Chain A
Amino acid sequence: MSPTFEELSVGQDIGSSSIEVTRQDLVKYAGASGDFNPIHWNESFATSVELPGVIAHGMFTMGAAVQLVTDWAGDPAAVVDYQTRFTKPVLVTDTTGSPEPGAVFDVSGTIGALDADARTARVDLAVVFDGQKVLMKAQALVKVA
């Protein structure tokens, strides 16, 4: 069920999810997006440029986190604006050959603002990995019926 504008209030929780990431997911994202920067798939390259290890594409995290909003809105086309700052890397350890994920991050969303004239809701996303926020000012503007 898609939300209607009248039933929304600022501060309202829209839900949460937990996203598991493996090195294979990063390879898939590299292929799908065309971003083949080796810091996202090659450990020795990543450490050679002074990173702690292979890190997820910021755009992978941003793209996966908005799924919560899309599902809540009921239509991906309802997301008319989406922005974030990337503040911390998501370090993805190599768990190839095991069923364990290489990283897990948690996404939760709340209504940050409502615009009655435009009938839009701003959803503020909190994306937390290893106890720290990896996205800041992650905001999706959603058109609501």
Chain B
Amino acid sequence: MVRADPDRLEAMTINPDLQGRSYPAAEVYDVGREKIREFARAVKATHPAHFDVDAAKGLGHRDLVAPPTFAIIIAQRADAQLIEDPEAGIDFSRVVHADQRFTHHRPIFAGDRLVAELHVDGVRAMGGGAMITTRAEIFALTDGDGREPVSTTKSSILVRGEGQ
């Protein structure tokens, strides 16, 4: 990705040195059955594997299966470390989500204990604003302090400049 022009970013206070920064896995996210059901209802999903443990097991899963975009909860918690970082200079009220991708190495199930590492892959000026691309690597904690890759999420946010 093209390195941002520091002069243009300075005009809107986004710190160009953010690019390449990482935030290590912080708190553990415990995936509960009711949270999967709540999130599924919130995105108007009706598939029984989100709601009924027997239906999920009938498909060969160990517990309720999270909807395909559930990982956004964990990814946006990781993103919050960046957005709330005073050094980043991001005005959350001017943030617009530009793109999003989920790559699932395995599904997320109720009972998973997840952690996310956040990587800032790109910062570039865009009009009077800035486009910031982040990647969250989400792992499940396994017995014996192991970590199993679960999802990689990539997200670009546009921090709108004045009049954008």
Instruction: Enumerate chain A interface residues (CB-CB to B < 8 A).
Output: 19, 25, 28-29, 31-35, 37-39, 45, 49-50, 57-60, 62-64, 66-67, 69-71, 74-77, 79-86, 140
Contact = CB atoms under 8 A, between A and B. Distances in A.
Contact of B100 (A31, A62, A71): A62
B72 interface: yes
Nearest to A85: B99
B29 to A, nearest CB: 10
The B contact surface, by secondary structure, is: mixed
B45 A70 contact: yes
A74 B96 CA distance: 33
22 contacts: A19-B44, A32-B43, A33-B76, A34-B73, A37-B92, A38-B93, A45-B93, A49-B94, A50-B163, A62-B69, A66-B68, A67-B43, A69-B68, A75-B49, A77-B49, A80-B103, A81-B102, A82-B69, A83-B101, A83-B154, A86-B96, A140-B68
B13 to A, nearest CB: 16
Contact of B95 (A31, A37, A67, A77): A37
A45 B38 CA distance: 27
B77 A70 contact: no
Contacts of B41: 28, 32
A77 B65 contact: yes
